[in-house]
Amino acid sequence: MEIRTLGNGLKVSAQGLGCMGMTSAYGPAADRQEMIKLIRHAFERGVNFFDTAEAYGPFSNEELLGEALQPIREHVVLATKFGFDIDLISGARGAGTNSRPEHIRAVAEASLKRLRTDRIDLFYQHRVDPAVPIEDVAGTIKDLIAEGKIKHFGLSEAGIETIRRAHAVQPVTAVQSEYSLFWRGPEQELLPALEALGIGFVPFSPLGAGFLTGQIDEHTQFDASDFRNFVPRFSPEARKANLALVEVVKAVAQRKGATPAQVAIAWLLAQKPWIVPIPGTTKQHRLEENIGAVALQLSSDDLRQIHEQISQIQVLGERLPEGALKMTGL
pLDDT tens for 113-167 read 999 999 999 999 999 999 999 999 999 999 999 999 999 999 999 999 999 999 9
Q: Are 91 and 35 in contact (CB under 8 A)?
A: no
**Model pLDDT for residues 167-204, shown as the tens digit of each residue:** 999 999 999 999 999 999 999 999 999 999 999 999 99
- Examine residue 209 and state whether it is found in any structural domain, yes or no: yes
In this prediction, residue 14 has a pLDDT band, given cuts at 50, 70 and 90, of very high
Cα separation of 69 and 288, whole Å?
19
- Examine residue 45 and state whether it is found in any structural domain, yes or no: yes
| pLDDT for 271 | 98
In this predicted structure, the answer to whether residue 6 has a pLDDT above a threshold of 80 is yes
Q: What's the average model confidence in pLDDT over 5-21?
A: 97
Burial of 309 (0-12, 13-18, 19+ CB in 10 A): middle
- Examine residue 302 and state whether it is found in any structural domain, yes or no: yes
Q: What is the CATH number of the domain that holds 210?
A: 3.20.20.100
In this predicted structure, the answer to whether residue 210 has a pLDDT above a threshold of 90 is yes
The tally of CA atoms less than 13 A away on the side-chain side of residue 180 is: 26
| pLDDT for 324 | 86
**Model pLDDT for residues 254-313, shown as the tens digit of each residue:** 999 999 999 999 999 999 999 999 999 999 999 999 999 999 999 999 999 999 999 999
In this prediction, residue 4 has a pLDDT band, given cuts at 50, 70 and 90, of very high
Confirm whether pTM is higher than 0.95: yes
In this predicted structure, the answer to whether residue 329 has a pLDDT above a threshold of 80 is no
Q: What's the average model confidence in pLDDT over 75-87?
A: 97
Look up the domain containing 34 and give its range: 3-325
Select the more confidently predicted residue: 328 or 233: 233
Domain tally, the chain: 1
- Of 26, 56, 124, 179, the active-site residue reads 56
- Examine residue 330 and state whether it is found in any structural domain, yes or no: no
Cα separation of 29 and 205, whole Å?
18
Please, what is the angle between helix 101-114 and helix 134-146, to 10°? 40
| pLDDT for 322 | 83
What percent of the chain stands above pLDDT 70? 99
Q: What's the average model confidence in pLDDT over 64-87?
A: 98
- Examine residue 286 and state whether it is found in any structural domain, yes or no: yes
In this prediction, residue 323 has a pLDDT band, given cuts at 50, 70 and 90, of confident
Mean pLDDT over each residue of the chain, to the nearest integer: 97
Can 26 be counted among the known catalytic residues? Answer: no
In this predicted structure, the answer to whether residue 330 has a pLDDT above a threshold of 70 is no
**Model pLDDT for residues 242-254, shown as the tens digit of each residue:** 999 999 999 999 9
Cα separation of 30 and 20, whole Å?
11
